[in-house]
Amino acid sequence: MPELPDLTVFAENLSKQVVREKVVKVVWHERGRLNVGADELSGALVGSSISEVERSGKETLFKMNNGNRLFVHLMLQGKFVLAPRQKTASFPIMTLAFEDGKTLTVQDPKAMVMISLNPSRDHEAPDALELNPELLKRLIGVKPRMLAKAFLIDQKIVRGIGNAYADEILWKAAISPRSVMGRLPEEAIDELVRAVHSVLNSAIEQLRRDHPAIIAGEIRDFLAVHNPSRKVSPTGHPIQVETISSKKTYFTDEQVLYPEKAVKHGATE
């Protein structure tokens, strides 16, 4: 599933291709999940132009010049396909046809993509790149018994981080994925915030540099620990792989467990 760094770069590259493009046709292919009817979707978009494309948490947001907002959540295998002229894409979910002949198709073999037109978003969780120590402490206060891995990937707590980058952040911060969030000392909270910004921003820069036109896929070969091709971390410690919080999790014994007793007693929420 694309995460914050991937989606940031996707949005930047889509902006270069589709901003100011006028939508002349919308096709809903009767797959995926849509929060309105197909006719309402078409009526909201046809005749308008895309004014901005940006990342919003783990979604891509298309802002239209008529005030409408279209959110696309690619889920596990969804992707954007931009074609120079109208043609049928594999496993299409939605296709936007532009006045100049280009098409932008959202496709997904599993039909899990979620598309939302003008959803109510009054109480969204903060974005991961908005985190600071004070904000993180407030969020921890709501779910103090939650394990670190589950906490970071819960989009109702903080938006943008998924399974892979949660592992990278926790390794960078030297915090075990089984740590109880409410038991993190202040210095570990500070380190976790630094790791969030460092890992995510470094990944964005690497994707921009190495894959300057990317609008789909997941590039993970440069990750330090969430990487099946690696057996040891960059610091020389064996990488362990276990299921934690229902997710395949990569970590090392460098990461401190806070506190061991609470985890043994099964504190998970």
**Domains of the chain (ranges, CATH numbers):** 4-117 (3.20.190.10), 128-264 (1.10.8.50)
Q: Distance (Å, rounded) from C-alpha 188 to C-alpha 169?
A: 12
Q: Distance (Å, rounded) from C-alpha 267 to C-alpha 269?
A: 6
- Output the pLDDT for position 123: 82
Report the predicted TM-score, pTM, of the whole model to 2 decimal places. Answer: 0.93
- Output the pLDDT for position 122: 77
E strand map for the chain: 23-28, 33-34, 50-56, 59-64, 69-73, 79-83, 92-98, 103-107, 114-117, 240-244, 247-251
Rounded to 5°, angle at Cα 148 from 191 and 121 = 95
Contact 172, 195 (CB under 8 A): yes
- Output the pLDDT for position 86: 67
Contact 233, 152 (CB under 8 A): no
Output the CA torsion 123→128→130→136 (10° steps): 80
One-letter amino acid of 133: P
Q: Which parts of the chain register pLDDT below 70? A: 86-87, 260-269
- Output the pLDDT for position 260: 63
- Output the pLDDT for position 262: 42
Which residue's entry shows tokens 């589950």?
150
What rounded mean pLDDT belongs to the chain? 94
- Output the pLDDT for position 227: 97
